[in-house]
Chains A and B, each alone.
Chain A
């Protein structure tokens, strides 16, 4: 069982990595790859009960790509994959896609991002799945029967698909830095006003003068390092990645804007 799960996962990853290289979130592009790979045939040759168990297996596997920590593009690919698998399965009545309560917020957020960026096809397909009652609203993503493993075997997440950390950039943005330097100035003035000039010694100079520039430069360093790491990791994909990053404006407008603005701000 475990072996077949691995094979299914690697087939899905192959499809999604081809989708990733196209730098697109269009369903047209996805369905073209689907046809090229003849992915509908993945259900062929299952008999009797296997139809059902296999549908369940592949839907469980594919539904992981719809959720974080994967990048927006992969998640859209995951959504298309789920839709296509759901529609092409040969079990009748169809097996449902399991959706866990804890993942609901992520799906809603994903839908909002897609709406904001006007990805009509992604929103349409997600709502179609809802309309067609393709989901089981469950407690957990899979059935659990206390199958403890002797050997913890972690199935690795495909690294290329992961969303890069952007929290530092998001947190320490221009507004925050402005605010910080304002407060810093105010604080400085206050201190000088309460002490006479002669007393201005070490006691009031306890805080760093260059806090704001330092904070700024470390975030910039982090960002550069992240870029470099990515390009090192896969030379082949490096060019595509930077391109993807450039095009990501279309993917998630709000976040990318802050990032880019922020980057320019520091390089002024």
Chain B
């Protein structure tokens, strides 16, 4: 009996599906890491690569084969044996070869031919993505102390935009962040950029310069993550409140399973017990709710960005089309006016420059009677 229990305990941190191909059962991330490290030789997850000759010598000794057999084996298994074209030719890997037989290639050829007939320019999204990639791939830190330790876990976390637009229910726009096991949840919180943090509430037509002092992020600092029945509250600042209390008490009053609280800043990812692939919650500004999905947990690899300072590392971000100023159609709208005699519509969107030129004189005195509200475009983080 005791042995059986022990073996289930041992397997508890080996992730397995709860629903096949959808999400896993809950497991402890730190223990998951230890399970891997227990099984692997340090050289397997080290960033250093073992020397080829040492490898050959060890292999020959291990399998009890002669140097001659070893040389034969190497030549049989060499990459050259996979070359599909004559040695004196180098085919262009950007072009689908003529008369392909593989199904994948037949389809790709069709697609490429079709695309060529359309004469499209490069997709904006892939341009951004390429740029992000260039910034991060295989980056090594300047200082040795900033290197991510070997055997550290890297988590891939998707943070979804709140479904405030109908379209978002279908396309699931999100940002993807890479974090390490030693990061705290508070660091994830700080890395999530959401326009609701930048909103300014109020009417500022008389004092437009004051507006930036009133952004929501500085006023309403409370937030929480919700993972596996635990609310992780942000309590770093004296103004922070435990905004999960309402929900916990509501649940208690209705005989729901009990929820508990913890502090975001004291919780590292390695301490969490979570399901991979399962939707959790991040809530801030009272009711701005984001789904959070941990899509992957794995050991760090030598090709990863190894500079600790660049984490949390943004690897994907959905770009939103921005609304431009009604006057210049160049800059992103910053002000929304109503009851405005200068505006072609009510309400009307202006960029900062056009707004000031149109509504104020050289001394900054308000001209005419109108109401002005600061506007933050959802695409402000593009």
Contacts and interface: CB of A to CB of B under 8 A. Distances in A.
B45 interface: yes
18 contacts: A11-B103, A35-B81, A38-B97, A44-B93, A44-B96, A49-B126, A49-B130, A84-B82, A101-B15, A101-B39, A102-B16, A104-B39, A118-B63, A136-B298, A137-B44, A137-B45, A139-B15, A146-B277
Contact of B95 (A3, A44, A139): A44
Nearest to A147: B22
A254 interface: no
Contacts of B82: 31, 34-35, 39-40, 84, 87-88
Interface centre among B35, B59, B103, B137 (most CB of A within 10 A): B103
B84 A144 contact: no
A4 interface: yes
B233 to A, nearest CB: 24
Contacts of B196: none
A31 B75 CA distance: 12
B347 interface: no
B145 interface: no
Interface of B: 14-17, 19, 21-24, 27, 32, 35-36, 39-40, 44-45, 49-50, 52, 55, 59, 63, 65, 69, 73-74, 76-77, 79, 81-84, 91-97, 100-105, 107-109, 112, 122, 126, 129-130, 133, 137-138, 156, 158, 276-279, 293, 295-299, 301-303
Contacts of A120: 63, 65, 69, 73
B244 to A, nearest CB: 23
A127 to B, nearest CB: 6
B103 A144 contact: no
Given A41-B100, A96-B303, A137-B40, 5 more contacts: A8-B104, A120-B63, A124-B74, A140-B15, A147-B21
A255 to B, nearest CB: 21
A16 to B, nearest CB: 14
Majority secondary structure, B binding face: mixed
Nearest to A89: B93
B298 A145 contact: no
A137 B303 contact: no
A138 B95 CA distance: 33
B158 A44 contact: no
Given A120-B65, A128-B77, A146 B91 contact: no
Given A27-B76, A34-B82, A41-B105, A139 B298 contact: yes
A154 B27 CA distance: 26
A111 to B, nearest CB: 11
A42 interface: yes
Contacts of B52: 131
A37 B276 contact: no
Interface centre among B14, B45, B138 (most CB of A within 10 A): B14
A96 B27 CA distance: 24
Contacts of B95: 44-45
A143 B315 CA distance: 14
A93 to B, nearest CB: 5
A256 interface: no
B83 A133 contact: no
A182 to B, nearest CB: 28
Interface of A: 3-4, 7-8, 10-11, 27-28, 31, 34-35, 37-49, 84, 87-88, 90, 93-94, 96, 98, 100-102, 104, 115, 118, 120-121, 123-125, 127-128, 130-133, 135-140, 142-148
Contacts of B137: 93
Contact of B299 (A4, A28, A87, A137): A137
A147 B27 CA distance: 20
A130 B44 contact: yes
Given A45-B108, A87-B79, A145-B277, A139 B32 contact: yes
B274 to A, nearest CB: 10
Contacts of A115: 63
A140 B84 contact: no
A48 B94 CA distance: 10
Nearest to A80: B77
B59 A127 contact: yes
Interface centre among B77, B277, B295 (most CB of A within 10 A): B77
A42 B109 CA distance: 11
A101 B37 CA distance: 10
Contacts of B156: 143
Nearest to B156: A143
Contacts of A142: 21
Contacts of B295: 143-145
A105 B137 CA distance: 31
Nearest to B74: A124
B83 A131 contact: no
A98 B301 CA distance: 12
A44 B91 contact: yes
A87 B84 CA distance: 13
A95 B239 CA distance: 46
A136 B96 contact: no
A146 B278 contact: yes
Contacts of B105: 41-42, 44-45
Nearest to B65: A120
Contacts of B277: 140, 144-146
A146 B293 contact: yes
A132 to B, nearest CB: 7
B90 to A, nearest CB: 12
Nearest first, the 9 closest Cβ-Cβ pairs linking A and B are A144-B277, A45-B96, A138-B298, A31-B81, A7-B103, A38-B84, A139-B297, A137-B299, A139-B15
Contact of B104 (A4, A28, A47, A49): A4
A146 B22 contact: yes
Contacts of A87: 79, 82
Contacts of A137: 36, 40, 44-45, 298-299
